[in-house]
Chains A and B, each alone.
Chain A
Amino acid sequence: MDFSYTEEQQMLQESVQKFVQKNYEFATRAKIIASENGYSNENWELFAELGWLTVPFCEEDGGFGGSAVDLTVMMDEFGKANLVEPFTPTAILGGGLVSALGEKGQKTELLGPLMEGKLQLACAYAETGSRFNLSNVTTTATVEGDQVRLNGEKINVLNGSNADKLLLVARESGAQTDRNGISIFLVDNDSDGLSIQPYTNVDGKKAAQISFASVSVPLSARLGEAGGALPALEAVIDRATVAVSAEAVGALEALLQKTVEYSKTRKQFGTPIGTFQALQHRMADMFIECQLARSIVIMAAMKLDSTENDVEKSKAVSAAKSRVGKAIEKVGQEAIQIHGGIGMTEELDVGHLFKRVTAIDIQFGNTDYHTARFSSL
């Protein structure tokens, strides 16, 4: 048994740490968010140069190896820095689906440019009525000769306004929540009938609400078999779920560390507030939460990399997200509370971390959803 990072993982970690220290000051991050794309293209190119964009992919696809544990090493550091670049939507979700479902031709066309930093992707899966159920799809895909017509509306499309191509989850057959009948199509962002409403999320990341009004794509835009995309979608979302959970762990540890630091310097009643036992115990609890969250995310990542069956993998993912969600609530809220008024402002990184972890809590299913999924699997 050995929970230490390999040499390669250590290098990856140090590489992210170095980048963050140099390029991700609070003020720089604010500027990036305020920019038109909401992320820095310069940073993105650097990510490609450093090889980070290859991390989610297996060697066959030209990647670094594609282990979930590797991914968590990076995401952890991204979380500490509250990085806004669209790594999850492009590399993990979009790239993940192409890798899982694409034919050789599609992979060559897309994954190369992606890893070189030249292609942005987004995955449009959620709908207003679907909540977190991935098999709940009302967006329709109708085959007409060698074309497919797409109709429907998607919400919460991360990176949706910046993506060159969208991966649209649509129903070709079956009832609203059937597991069969779901396909994924590649849709260019400038297709006729596509209307993209971009906005910034509470965590500063760009997202969009996208409607498809009789959008036409060639049949060859379908990824994988007709109506058979759900298992791959679930597996990719599971990986993304572990990735953002690892990001949350990084962010929570940053919140804890900043809170402890602050409590040592902030004086009231002539003494640092960190000397009040009422606060000490709560910081101890925050520490415990962070540790448990870290443990269960490691467990889930290791299971994903193992030869366990799919059910066991999904169960581990839901266990992690459910438990991390609890830690998010506790650690996030306490960090603000112990900072007092200053924690309530946009002027401190603590508030931004709090908002990021709150968004992660919802992303890919909240605690309740994953607890229920855990018990039903």
Chain B
Amino acid sequence: MNADFTIEELAFQKEVRTFLDNEFPFEFRTKIDANRRLSKKEIIRWQKILYEKGWAAPTWPVEFGGTGWSQVQRHIFATEMGLIGAPEPVPFGMKMVAPVIMEYGTEEQKNRFLPDILESNVWWCQGYSEPNSGSDLASLKTTAVRDGDEYIVNGAKTWNTYGQYADWIFCLVRTDNTVKKQEGISFLLIDMSSPGITLRPIVLLDGHPEVNEVFFDDVRVPVNNIVGEENKGWTYAKLLLTHERSNIAGVPRGKRRLRGLKRIAADTDDGFGNTMLENPRFKNKLAEVEIQLQALEYSELRTLAALSVGKAPGPESSILKIVGTELAQEMDELFVELAAYSCLPFVPEQFEDGFQGVPLGPGNSAYAALNYFNNRKASIYGGSNEIQRNIICKHVLGL
């Protein structure tokens, strides 16, 4: 048993590091360290840099312009990116809809959609959840009714992340009301500029309109925008969910944030003449987080090793989702604890692109509470942690 990289893998790691050192824009690093949101334009700029290098799509096969990397190479790349805080591509196109199109789409769809995803020319969003269909996704009610060469779509989707920036949306829609709920669902690609689509921004607890409600009012969609067969959408969606859940552990990001916690703790007075890094209670909490991060990392590596020898991502990925999100939330709390009074000011605009003023509070401490509130989402979305535990009960423990 060993967890070592091969010589080739180590060389690859070095190549990735050198590339990131040279090519990841310095001003992005500064912004990310200051907890500023990168703009859409900036994310695209970074994606184009990766694209030029041929690394835009680490998980795609070569035939579609991907890297064709092994599991370990992907892991190395994701790790190095995460350690410096480089943004991953917006997942909806690259990681979610693209694999479905590759697997079940027509040649025409592959040619039409994949290159623009690869080059970040077209942005996607995910239209699954509905106001009354969250955890029980299969109960969704948005309908698509065939009318000649078109579907007419009616209904509402919600919690649509970054819908305001998206050019296209991939939706699960009901195309048959007469069968078992999972069997009447289709996977439909819809141009966001279609007449009849309206967005209502939803402001989250951090003051940011990160998600939207999307209304469909007699929206006409060409039938050739359906992926795969009519009424088979549920099967495709499930494939997508396993992709959504991979890489969810967030170990590199966790390591980066742990470094951040230690740095801030060293700069924060505990009020009694020591720094928070010297404060025994806080030190213990940091240690506990670090230990959990190590347990998570090695769990992820074990999963990775299984994937490398061709096993499909199984329900074990639920472990990574649950532990990864809950550990991230624990770190959120530690940032709040360090910031103390300084995280109370609610000034979300100071973390927006283009903010010119002087931020309140030392070292961006006012970000800590915003982030704590916002990241409560992590245990809710992507299959809530309760649903993940149900999966473990059912598929692993046989309960």
Contacts and interface: CB of A to CB of B under 8 A. Distances in A.
A268 B136 contact: yes
B360 interface: yes
Interface-centre pick from A199, A270, A344, A354 (highest chain B CB count, 10 A): A344
Q: What 7 pairs across the A-B complex have the smallest Cβ distances?
A: A131-B271, A133-B271, A156-B341, A268-B136, A129-B269, A202-B346, A346-B203
A207 B341 CA distance: 11
A362 B341 contact: yes
Interface string B378-389: 011100111001
A201 interface: yes
A155 B271 contact: no
B200 to A, nearest CB: 11
Interface in A336-370: 336-337, 340-341, 343-347, 351, 354-355, 358-359, 362, 366, 368
Contact of A347 (B202, B333, B386): B202
Contacts of A371: 281
Given A130-B271, A347-B202, A366 B340 contact: yes
A27 to B, nearest CB: 15
B158 interface: yes
B376 A336 contact: yes
B129 interface: yes
B54 interface: no
B134 A131 contact: no
Interface string A315-343: 00000000000000100010011001101
A268 B132 CA distance: 8
A209 B360 contact: yes
Interface of A: 126, 128-133, 136, 155-156, 177, 197, 199-204, 207, 209, 267-270, 276, 278-279, 329, 333, 336-337, 340-341, 343-347, 351, 354-355, 358-359, 362, 366, 368, 371-372
Contacts of B381: 341
A112 B269 CA distance: 40
A351 B372 CA distance: 12
Interface in B271-327: 271-273, 281-282
A279 B271 contact: no
Contact of A133 (B134, B203, B272, B342): B272
A340 B134 contact: yes
B309 to A, nearest CB: 34
Given A136-B271, A197-B360, A199-B360, A344 B346 contact: no
A155 B272 contact: no
B167 interface: no
A368 B341 contact: no
Interface in B337-371: 337, 340-347, 360-362, 369-370
A346 B380 CA distance: 16
A345 B202 contact: yes
B362 A347 contact: no
B344 A345 contact: no
B340 A202 contact: no
Contacts of A200: 345-346
Contacts, number: 128
B360 A202 contact: no
Contacts of B25: none
B376 A268 contact: no
Nearest to B380: A340
A130 to B, nearest CB: 5
A131 B270 contact: yes
B115 interface: no
B242 to A, nearest CB: 21
Given A129-B269, A340-B380, 16 more contacts: A131-B340, A136-B271, A177-B272, A177-B273, A202-B344, A203-B344, A209-B345, A209-B360, A333-B376, A344-B377, A345-B202, A346-B203, A347-B203, A368-B282, A368-B337, A372-B281
Nearest to B285: A368
Contact of B281 (A199, A270, A368): A368
Contacts of B135: 268-269, 340
A305 B346 CA distance: 36
B345 A207 contact: yes
A366 B374 CA distance: 21
B204 interface: yes
17 contacts: A128-B342, A129-B269, A131-B272, A133-B271, A155-B342, A199-B346, A202-B369, A278-B389, A278-B390, A341-B381, A344-B376, A344-B377, A345-B202, A362-B344, A366-B337, A366-B340, A368-B281
Interface of B: 129, 132-136, 139, 158-159, 202-205, 207, 211, 268-273, 281-282, 333, 336-337, 340-347, 360-362, 369-370, 372-374, 376-377, 379-381, 384-386, 389-390
Nearest to A350: B205
A37 B273 CA distance: 37
A344 B336 contact: no
B331 to A, nearest CB: 14
B205 A344 contact: yes
Contacts of B336: 358, 362
A131 B269 contact: yes
A267 B136 CA distance: 9
B136 A269 contact: yes
A204 B377 CA distance: 21
A372 B276 CA distance: 14
Contacts of B362: 128
B134 A268 contact: yes
Contacts of B377: 341, 344
A341 B340 contact: no
B344 A351 contact: no
Contacts of A358: 336, 369, 372-373
Contacts of B269: 129-131
Contacts of B372: 358
Contact of A359 (B271, B344, B374): B344
Given A131-B269, A269-B135, A344-B205, A362 B343 contact: yes
Contacts of A345: 202-205
A340 B383 CA distance: 11
A355 B374 CA distance: 11
A207 to B, nearest CB: 7
A356 to B, nearest CB: 11
Given A156-B341, A177-B272, A202-B373, A346 B204 contact: yes
A346 to B, nearest CB: 4
B380 A156 contact: no
B169 to A, nearest CB: 17
B204 to A, nearest CB: 5
A250 B355 CA distance: 37
Contacts of A362: 336, 340-341, 343-344
Contacts of A199: 345-347, 360
A201 B373 contact: no
B346 A341 contact: no
